[in-house]
Amino acid sequence: MERDPKLKLSIELTKGEAEVLLKFLQDAEFPLDPFGEDTRLFKRTSKRLCVALEKELDIADKVGRLHMQLSGRWAIFRPGRDAVEITSGEVFRVEVDGELRATRMEHEWGEGYYSVDGYKLRDGMRAAISAGERKG
């Protein structure tokens, strides 16, 4: 029996488009035989897509720009919201090669705050607050 090849899709949606698609998938009635293979595949796929959309929408609310404060600490600034300071030991995300990657902030006396994964922190880089656990 031949295995169905896996496809990895990458699309860009606005937050509004993602919210509408998520609502549609959650409320969708599939017009085929309720016990057929197509319906089973649609339901499984829509559940996976809903999880991915929910995750992206959650992260979208947490994304902003990283800025060094006068205190020497880093903070994430998001439009229309208070800045969120990142303290030593806290997990956050920074954009590396176009992807938000989890890391942890640490502080070394005399050296300042840094990413434990060696990501170079820059003023104005895309970053996200408390958006998941760091691997490893």
DSSP-assigned letter for residue 66: E
Are residue 35 and residue 54 in the same domain, yes or no?
yes
Q: What is the pLDDT of residues 34-54, one digit of tens each?
A: 677 777 777 778 888 888 888
Q: How many domains does the chain have?
A: 2
Tell me the mean pLDDT in the region 89-105. 91
Are residue 84 and residue 123 in the same domain, yes or no?
yes
Contacts of 80 (CB under 8 A, 6+ apart): none
Are residue 123 and residue 76 in the same domain, yes or no?
yes
Please, which pLDDT band fits residue 68 given cuts at 50, 70 and 90?
Answer: very high
Between the ranges 8-22, 80-94, 119-133, where is the mean pLDDT highest? 80-94
- Cα 43 from Cα 135, distance rounded (Å): 30
pTM score over 0.75: no
Are residue 47 and residue 97 in the same domain, yes or no?
no
Say yes or no to pLDDT of 31 above 70.
no
User: Quick one: how far is CA 72 from the chain centroid?
Assistant: 26
- The CA–CA distances, whole Å, from 94 to 13, 36, 41, 47 equal 20, 44, 35, 28
